[in-house]
Homo-oligomer: A and B are copies of this chain.
Amino acid sequence: MNLAAPADGVKLTDSQRLDWLRLIRSENIGPRTFRAVLNHCGSARAAIAALPDLARRGGAKAPGRICTAAEAEQEMETARRQGSVFVALGEPDYPARLRVIDDAPPLLAVRGKLDVLKSPMAAIVGSRNASAAGAKFAAQMANELGAAGFVTVSGLARGIDAAAHRASLEFGTVAVLAGGQDRIYPPEHNDLLAKILERGAAVSEMPFGWEPRARDFPRRNRLISGMSLGVLVVEAARRSGSLITARMALEQGREVFAVPGSPLDPRCEGTNELLKQGANLVTGVDDILSVIEPIAGRPAELPIEEPEQEAQMFTDGPAADERSRIIGLLGPTPVDIDDLIRLSGARPAIVRTVLLELEIAGKLHRQAGGRVALLG
């Protein structure tokens, strides 16, 4: 089974989709753990059945809460009434570029026109308290990207985000939400969202009813960059959310673009810093198109993953001494899984199983680039 595409190009059955929803809504299951446990157990249904045992072996005092079938059905029903559908990783409607990021959401709740997710996309992000010039420039870029066949992705925030969405309504634009599909932030953008949905879409990985908290915005930002060929940062103060999106774009191998601005304007500190670090300098849409047009035609590249030859053959659990040897190598400082395998002398499948158990027990954090750390 290919980890990167659990249901490559094939639609899930309703029953599979429900299992996927249950699994991703269960405690201690994030996108990376979802992939690992799906790979380990072969299906979401088998994974759900295995969770209590895996958590116990990982040393959980009490197993994490599992989303019930009734709860998942309830969320499905709420979604349908509200006009959202769940698109699974690997299904034809799932955004092609997003599919290949390390922590791609197994399910996206999508409202609006699904087709728009098949277009090549470019993100435009920036300050909430944008200058008039910044907002105008963002609008100009969004509109010209649209005319050139690129869908603008942004975060529905005030300022730059809203300007970019508004200027590209006619081409279809994608808003990525930090909360559930029924928890729009900021609330005054409900009208804008309604216009977006006419030709574009709103996307969320969060459960219905989820009120976005501060930490959900950086998490959401990885989807904005992940769906896009590149991210244009129009105005950004130092330590702003837009810079997080830019950093994620780099980690995901996406292009980063920044608009230059006066050193005397604090709203340009972050963008100028990006330029110093090598971001593409943008004074017109051609500066973006010249970079993303050549790559738009290429298929999204799958990250290189180790083949999982052993996974199918290995059915025994790890022996107690192997488990404790592996756990002994872990600590709060992230380590490479490859190093763990080498240092422990255990078979890769054994190491992966121990890590999965710890993850499901809520004791391990899996980071970008195949690194893991024990949680305090």
Establish whether residues B264 and A137, one from each chain, have CB atoms under 8 Å apart when the complex forms: yes
With CB as the reference atom, state the residue of chain B lying closest to A263: B283
Answer whether residue A29 sits at the interface, using C-beta atoms and an 8 A cutoff. no
Answer whether residue A63 sits at the interface, using C-beta atoms and an 8 A cutoff. no
Answer whether residue A348 sits at the interface, using C-beta atoms and an 8 A cutoff. no
Establish whether residues B281 and A275, one from each chain, have CB atoms under 8 Å apart when the complex forms: yes
In the bound complex, CA of A260 to CA of B269 (Å): 11
In the bound complex, CA of A281 to CA of B273 (Å): 9
Contact with B along A280-312 (1 / 0, CB 8 A): 011110010000000000000000000000000
With CB as the reference atom, state the residue of chain B lying closest to A284: B263
Copies in the assembly, this chain: 2
Contact with B along A251-269 (1 / 0, CB 8 A): 0000000011111110011
A132 → chain B closest CB, angstroms: 9
Residues of chain A from 225 to 264 with CB closer than 8 A to chain B in the complex: 259-264
Establish whether residues B281 and A272, one from each chain, have CB atoms under 8 Å apart when the complex forms: yes
Answer whether residue A183 sits at the interface, using C-beta atoms and an 8 A cutoff. no
The count of chain A contact residues (Cβ–Cβ below 8 Å) is 21
Provided the pairs A272-B281, A281-B272, A283-B269 are in contact, do residues A262 and B260 lie with their beta carbons within 8 angstroms? yes
Answer whether residue A133 sits at the interface, using C-beta atoms and an 8 A cutoff. yes
Answer whether residue A276 sits at the interface, using C-beta atoms and an 8 A cutoff. yes
Answer whether residue A136 sits at the interface, using C-beta atoms and an 8 A cutoff. yes
- Specify which chain B residues have a CB less than 8 angstroms from the CB of A133 in the assembled complex: 262, 264-265
Establish whether residues A263 and B259, one from each chain, have CB atoms under 8 Å apart when the complex forms: yes
Establish whether residues A275 and B260, one from each chain, have CB atoms under 8 Å apart when the complex forms: yes
Residues of chain A from 117 to 164 with CB closer than 8 A to chain B in the complex: 133, 136-137
A residues near B (Cβ < 8 Å) are: 133, 136-137, 259-265, 268-269, 272-273, 275-276, 281-284, 287
Sample of 6 more A-B contacts, CB < 8 Å, known A133-B265, A260-B260, A275-B281: A133-B262, A260-B262, A260-B263, A261-B262, A263-B283, A272-B283
